[in-house]
Amino acid sequence: MRRYPYMNAQRGKLVSGGRLQLPAEMRRELGLVDGDVVVMKIVDGVIEVRPLKDAIARVQSRLREFTGDETGRTSVDG
């Protein structure tokens, strides 16, 4: 995998079916394994990729600020 020396960036690859192949190092850093669900969005022309579990945790944290509910659980938690 080619690393760019002045940025915290790595090169991935767009493969058949529009799938984006993420470098193993990035998957490890995000704690992603095969089959994990991610959330993607475009911000200022850049694709942001986050594990769904992290996005849920962020929303739960914000909800706790408003509701005072210490559990922060949602129906997604099971």
Q: pTM of the full predicted structure?
A: 0.57
Residue 76, classed as helix, strand or coil, is helix
The answer on pLDDT for 17 being more than 90 is yes
β-partners of residue 19 are 15
The answer on pLDDT for 77 being more than 70 is no
Give the pLDDT confidence of 24-62 residue by residue, as tens digits.
988 998 889 999 999 899 999 988 888 888 878 778 888
Distance CA 41, CA 61 (A): 20
**Residue 41: per-residue pLDDT:** 92
